[in-house]
């Protein structure tokens, strides 16, 4: 992992009327890094994602991707630059197959016209074959081969979350925004998702920002963590630093100690708990 920022968020502030959702927050994400954002409900975590993808436009500050400001770009143009995301609530096409859902992620990489695709000869045919090959690689990577021709609506919840991750990967991102990827999952599904996230970093080298309430998962896999509370950054550092930071403990628990509960397993689904 190179200490070269792929993303720089510089002193951004986002307001909705008289409510300040993000208050002068700055951070950076390095190439190949797994950076996590945590905080209580309403802390501004998803608002950070929406500003990076330019669904929301901050009133102050700047966001730079590979040194270029992305402020004011349309969300589809941000995606074309190489920033993809998943969503807390599954946003798939339920009646379409796994394969077709993943192919929708290739849309921004398609160069041939709609009419050329209708005829399906020459370059248009070669392009579609290449896109399908790329999608099949992702299906293999995420181990969802047996469901590739199933409508998404028929799949278990954990597999649907995996398909949504696959659609984001189909966009060929350089930065992946993961919004609560294990929300609602059981222990086995959570451990599977954690493994795939680590494989994305290790094998694909994609930088990621992870927003997640599962503190066991975050502490196990994140390189660095930023903590938000009421839209303000209250801490940033490696997991060991964050676990003992008194401001973080107060924001979460109003207690004096923070630790990751030991459930006898991998710790991937452990909760933050108060000691004593």
> For 191-204, how does the pLDDT look when each residue is reduced to its tens digit (9 = 90+)?
999 999 999 999 99
Q: Are strands 60-65 and 207-211 parallel, antiparallel or unpaired?
A: unpaired
pLDDT value at position 265? Answer: 40
Q: Is residue 247 within 8 Å of residue 230, measured between CB atoms?
A: no
Q: Is residue 153 within 8 Å of residue 100, measured between CB atoms?
A: no
pLDDT value at position 41? Answer: 85
- Quick one: what percent of the chain has pLDDT higher than 90? 67
pLDDT value at position 107? Answer: 74
Strand partners, 68: 65
Radius of gyration in angstroms for the set of CA atoms belonging to the chain, rounded to a whole number: 19
pLDDT value at position 264? Answer: 39
pLDDT value at position 116? Answer: 46
The residue behind tokens 């199933």 is 150
Q: Is residue 218 within 8 Å of residue 242, measured between CB atoms?
A: no
pLDDT value at position 272? Answer: 36
Contacts of 67 (CB under 8 A, 6+ apart): 8
pLDDT value at position 253? Answer: 62
The residue behind tokens 């998702």 is 193
Q: Is residue 103 within 8 Å of residue 167, measured between CB atoms?
A: no
Would the CA dihedral through 112, 117, 119, 124 be positive or negative? positive
Which segments in the chain show pLDDT lower than 50? 1, 112-121, 255-276
Would the CA dihedral through 184, 146, 85, 220 be positive or negative? positive
Q: Is residue 164 within 8 Å of residue 86, measured between CB atoms?
A: yes
Phi, psi of 95, deg, nearest 5: -90, -5
- The model carries a pTM of 0.84
pLDDT value at position 105? Answer: 86
Q: 19 in helix, strand or coil?
A: strand
The continuous run of DSSP H or E covering 84 comes out as: strand 83-85
Burial of 274 from C-beta contacts in 10 A (0-12 / 13-18 / 19+) = middle
């Amino acid at each position: 992992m190179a200490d070269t920022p792929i993303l720089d968020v510089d002193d951004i502030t986002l307001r909705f009327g008289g409510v300040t959702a993000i208050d002068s927050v700055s951070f950076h994400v390095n190439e190949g890094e797994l950076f996590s954002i945590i905080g209580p409900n309403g802390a501004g975590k998803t608002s950070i994602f929406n500003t990076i993808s330019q669904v929301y436009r901050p009133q102050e500050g700047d966001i730079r991707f590979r040194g270029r400001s992305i402020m004011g770009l349309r969300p589809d143009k941000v995606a074309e630059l190489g920033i993809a995301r998943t969503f807390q609530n599954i946003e798939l096409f339920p009646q379409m197959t796994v394969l077709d859902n993943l192919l929708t992620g290739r849309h921004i990489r398609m160069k041939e016209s709609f009419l050329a695709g209708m005829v399906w000869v020459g370059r248009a045919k070669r392009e579609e074959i290449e896109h399908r090959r790329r999608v099949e690689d992702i299906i293999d990577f995420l181990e969802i081969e047996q469901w590739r021709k199933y409508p998404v609506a028929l799949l278990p919840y954990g597999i649907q979350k995996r398909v949504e991750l696959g659609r984001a990967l189909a966009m060929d991102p350089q930065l992946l925004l993961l919004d609560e990827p294990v929300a609602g999952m059981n222990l086995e599904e959570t451990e599977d998702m954690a493994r795939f996230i680590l494989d994305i970093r290790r094998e694909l080298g994609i930088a990621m920002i992870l927003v997640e309430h599962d503190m066991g998962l975050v502490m196990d896999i994140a390189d660095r963590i930023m903590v938000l509370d009421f839209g303000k950054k209250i801490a940033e550092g490696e997991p060991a630093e964050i676990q003992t930071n008194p401001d973080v403990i107060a924001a979460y628990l109003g207690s004096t100690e923070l630790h990751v509960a030991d459930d006898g397993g991998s710790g991937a689904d452990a909760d933050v708990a108060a000691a004593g």
